[in-house]
């Protein structure tokens, strides 16, 4: 479309995510790749506007509904999207004055064929701007834009105060966590190389492989990323090989490995051992294989296998079994904010059953004296502690060595790890 501007790009992206249920992290990346010729600050504006609007959607709808006779659900999709974006920009962005923001969205409505509604858009947005900050929002679901059933579940599991801390944690700004490929470069040398390009780095003092980076253009513009000298991997995910106490000569299997971050990390540590990285589809295996090649992990092998199917050739074979299983993903809402709107209680129960089926199989792959490391990127007890209790009930030869439940904060996502030993 001729003359498309940054807000219009963000609007089109949000319509796909919020109206057509595209995955936010995948679709936004594709959009940013398409418009890679834009300046860094322009792409940052689009990213902030898209992610922020998705992240705060329930609160934005409450704000709009407080001042509009036509409720958000009754609006046409394009107008609904414009109103949400504008409300987010008025409340949470200060790149331009509110009056200019209102003008831009009125012009956008006209450009997209809704000149007849431009007066409505203008009137509601100027009221929102004028009344900004006067609404008192006490309801946790609205205040933190989290569906009520999730708030209720976490309140039951953790209590009201801890639930509010969790919800607040999801809205904290986040730096990108990377894992240094210590098989190829020291952390100090990588830091020196990245800082030489003007990239800001914060070193993690609790994991030897982790750093946080910011103030970069795009990953593909960083030579060291393309050379496999570092890998994007959250702090909590990087903990897994350390908690599993992987040894240099271990034989390890990662049963749901894509995109391969944990398997590659294990391969670095088990440098005289072997790692098998499995996943369900050819497409996922291809992603693992691509990352193996980029990072030079020649002791890691990618295989296609359905983890719900028992593999007799793997029985009692492995020193360490990594089972980072499909889950609700409700610990990584900050990275994938649309998850909270698309997940359901029914789907969650189906995932609990899937996890149980996989764990029942992969327990049998652990050799005597070996380790099973179960992890999820969620904070739901049904998928975590309660799941482990069920497994221990049906596989009495296992005992828990350590359980860790990380809650979201400025350093990491919500994540669960349980290390079990086969006696």
CA distance 421 to 401: 7
Q: Which of 281, 226, 276, 239 is nearest to 255 (CA)?
A: 276
> Annotated catalytic residue: which of 102, 211, 327, 377?
377
Q: Which helix (H) or strand (E) holds 156?
A: helix 148-158
Is 418 annotated as catalytic?
Answer: no
Encoding tokens for residue 163? Answer: 């639930």
Of 224, 233, 201, 239, the residue nearest 294 (C-alpha):
224
Q: Which residues contact 268 (CB under 8 A, 6 or more apart)?
A: 181, 182, 183, 297
- Taking CA atoms, 421 is separated from 122, 173, 404, in Å, by 63, 37, 15
Alpha helices (H) in 56-181, listed in sequence order: 57-67, 77-92, 98-111, 118-130, 140-143, 148-158, 160-170
SS3 category, 162: helix
Please give the Cα distance from 43 to 6 (Å, whole number). 8
Question: How far is residue 293's CA from residue 301's CA, in Å, rounded to a whole number?
Answer: 11
Q: How far apart are the first and last CA of the chain?
A: 64
Helix (H) or strand (E) holding 347: helix 345-362
For the chain, give the longest Cα–Cα distance.
73
Tokens encoding 322: 């990594």
* Residue for token pair 């030579």: 223
- Catalytically active residues, by annotation: 377
């Amino acid at each position: 479309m001729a003359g498309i501007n940054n807000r219009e790009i963000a609007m089109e992206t949000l319509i796909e995510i919020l109206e057509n249920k595209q995955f936010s992290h995948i679709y936004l990346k594709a959009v940013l790749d398409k418009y890679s010729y834009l300046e860094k600050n322009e792409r940052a504006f689009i990213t902030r506007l898209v992610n922020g609007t998705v992240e705060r959607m329930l609160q934005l709808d409450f704000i709009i509904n407080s001042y509009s006779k036509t409720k958000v659900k009754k609006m046409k999709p394009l107008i609904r999207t414009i109103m949400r974006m504008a409300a987010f920009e008025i409340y949470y962005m200060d790149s331009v004055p509110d009056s200019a923001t209102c003008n831009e969205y009125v012009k956008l409505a006209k450009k997209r064929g809704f000149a007849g509604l431009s007066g409505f858009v203008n009137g509601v947005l100027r009221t929102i701007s004028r009344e900004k900050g006067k609404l008192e929002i006490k309801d946790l679901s609205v205040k933190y834009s989290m569906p009520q059933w999730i708030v209720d579940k976490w309140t039951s599991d953790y209590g009201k105060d801890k639930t509010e801390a969790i919800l607040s944690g999801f809205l904290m700004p986040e730096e990108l966590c990377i894992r240094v490929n210590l098989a190829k470069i020291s952390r100090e040398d990588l830091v020196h190389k990245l800082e030489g390009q003007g990239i800001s780095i914060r070193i993690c003092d609790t994991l030897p492989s982790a750093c946080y980076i910011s103030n970069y253009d795009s990953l593909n513009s960083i030579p060291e990323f393309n050379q496999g000298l570092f890998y994007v991997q959250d702090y909590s995910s990087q903990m897994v090989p350390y908690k599993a106490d992987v040894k240099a000569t271990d034989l390890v299997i990662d049963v749901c490995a894509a995109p391969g971050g944990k398997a590659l990390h294990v391969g670095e540590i088990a440098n005289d051992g072997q790692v098998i990285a499995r996943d369900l589809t050819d497409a996922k295996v291809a992603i693992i294989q691509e990352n193996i090649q980029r990072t030079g992990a020649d002791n890691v092998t990618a295989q296609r296998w359905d983890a719900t199917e028992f593999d007799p050739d793997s029985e009692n074979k492995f020193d360490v079994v990594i089972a980072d299983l499909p889950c609700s993903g409700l610990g990584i809402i900050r990275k994938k904010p649309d998850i909270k709107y698309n997940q359901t209680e029914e789907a969650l129960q189906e995932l609990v059953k899937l996890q149980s089926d996989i764990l029942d199989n992969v327990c049998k792959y652990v050799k005597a004296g070996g380790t099973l490391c179960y992890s999820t990127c969620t904070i739901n007890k049904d998928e975590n502690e309660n799941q482990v209790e069920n497994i221990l009930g049906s596989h009495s030869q296992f005992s828990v060595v350590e359980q860790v439940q990380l809650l979201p904060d400025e350093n990491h996502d919500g994540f669960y790890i349980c290390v079990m030993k086969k006696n």
